[in-house]
């Protein structure tokens, strides 16, 4: 298992050919054992060329998210180093919450190809078909006060937006924006949803689970969300490989999370988040548990609250956990 991902990594990081002898020497196994691993990779869809007297060269990799594929791509210290992969599971947030209760390390990442009970905020569902999207959740163990944990949703939103941008930098890919607090959108439609859940005592966080759903290559949406949902493939006009995208998000998250911890607020990330914020300086509808009202969104503050000016001129700070925000005439 480990050897396979190490060989994959070696093949990826080498421009030319890697000889069978070099691999067998490095891993202390026979040339036949190396050849068997290469065969397995080819069966999984990797195009590995084998040239006599030269060795092996990787031409292309399939859009798979196996544990080996992910760990050969993720170059971080802790974010996504420990991976739980599922072809199908109920919800990656549930898997991570359980792993957290059982003592799994900070940064443990659960990834699924399909979810049978994908969830959104306040009991809503997240559409999670197989083979085309990313459903992942990460376990965080921050030593901060529980009332600061909701900022992690914003840290993740920024990290996902930056990770996606890194992977779809070709010309023609439209701009990504963040709809406060937890959605990444393109052309006014949702491509990413984020769900943060916490297990805590009154003054102590046991662990936080941050779940992310990214519509990567999905092209069909159920009718209820057809007007508000989109995918990277639809917006960019080409398919996007999922595993490198997960790796890019993990790298951004690790950096952004550490910046967040330095001040325990968003001051080090505010400029970048605000630059992507679609609601900034816009008229919005605030949909709360008790009331729905119109207001003018000014921006966010260091603690991730949305600052709005109500029609009577009152300035209010809105906490991320409490409300949904809509445009006055549509979704944004
Ligand atoms: P809203 O999007 O209504 O402002 P929200 O950001 O809190 O609220 P979430 O709880 O993050 O919403 O996501 C759940 C909602 O997202 C569902 O109610 C549905 O409308 C929509 N949705 C479900 N699955 C998907 C998907 N795969 N892609 C885009 N949107 C989806």
Assess contact for 294 and 328: CB atoms under 8 A: yes
* Closest C-alpha among 112, 282, 106, 94 to residue 213: 112
Q: Which atom of ligand 1 is nearest to the CA of 326?
A: 4
**23-45 pLDDT, tens per residue?**
999 999 999 999 999 999 999 99
**98-154 pLDDT, tens per residue?**
999 999 999 999 999 999 999 998 889 999 999 999 999 999 999 999 999 999 999
Sheet of 292-300: strand order equals 315-318, 306-310, 292-300, 282-287, 324-327
**128-143 pLDDT, tens per residue?**
999 999 999 999 999 9
289 CA distance to ligand 1 centroid (A)? Answer: 17
Segment 226-236 shows an average pLDDT of: 95
CB of 135 shorter than 6 A to ligand 1: no
Residue with the smallest CA separation from ligand 1 atom 1 is 324
Q: Cα–Cα distance between 332 and 311 in angstroms, integer?
A: 19
Q: Cα–Cα distance between 13 and 7 in angstroms, integer?
A: 10
Read off the tokens for 127: 């559409």
Q: What is the pLDDT of residue 229?
A: 96
CB of 285 shorter than 6 A to ligand 1: no
Residue with the smallest CA separation from ligand 1 atom 9 is 120
What is the widest separation between alpha-carbon atoms in the chain? 79
Assess contact for 110 and 84: CB atoms under 8 A: yes
CB of 188 shorter than 6 A to ligand 1: no
Q: Cα–Cα distance between 213 and 147 in angstroms, integer?
A: 24
């Amino acid at each position: 298992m480990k050897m396979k991902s190490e060989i994959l990594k070696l093949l990826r990081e080498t421009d030319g050919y890697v000889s069978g002898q070099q691999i067998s020497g490095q891993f202390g196994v026979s040339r036949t054992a190396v050849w068997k691993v290469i065969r397995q990779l080819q069966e999984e869809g990797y195009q590995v060329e084998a040239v006599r007297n030269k060795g092996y060269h990787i031409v292309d990799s399939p859009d798979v998210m196996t544990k080996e594929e992910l760990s050969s791509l993720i170059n971080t210290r802790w974010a996504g180093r420990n991976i739980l992969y599922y072809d199908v599971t109920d919800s990656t947030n549930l898997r991570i919450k359980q792993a957290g209760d059982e003592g799994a390390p900070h940064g443990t990442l659960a990834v699924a190809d399909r979810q049978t009970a994908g969830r959104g905020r306040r009991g809503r569902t997240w559409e999670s078909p197989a083979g085309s999207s990313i459903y992942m959740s990460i376990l965080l163990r921050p030593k901060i006060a529980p009332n600061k944990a909701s900022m992690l949703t914003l840290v993740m939103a920024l990290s996902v937006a930056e990770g996606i941008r890194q992977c779809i930098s070709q010309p023609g890919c439209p701009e990504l924006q963040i709809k406060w607090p937890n959605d990444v959108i393109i052309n006014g439609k949702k491509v990413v949803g984020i769900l943060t859940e916490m297990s805590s005592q009154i003054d102590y966080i046991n662990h936080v689970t941050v779940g992310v759903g990214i519509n990567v290559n999905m092209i069909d949406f159920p009718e209820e969300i057809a007007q508000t949902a989109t995918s990277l493939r639809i917006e960019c006009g080409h398919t996007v490989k999922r595993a490198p995208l997960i790796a890019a998000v993990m790298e951004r998250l690790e950096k952004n999370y550490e910046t967040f911890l330095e001040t325990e607020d968003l001051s080090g990330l505010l400029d970048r988040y605000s630059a992507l914020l679609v609601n900034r300086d816009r008229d919005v509808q605030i949909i709360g548990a008790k009331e729905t009202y119109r207001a003018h969104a000014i921006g966010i503050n260091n603690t991730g609250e949305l600052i709005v000016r109500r029609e009577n001129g009152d300035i209010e700070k809105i906490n991320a956990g409490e409300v949904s925000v809509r445009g006055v005439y549509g979704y944004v």
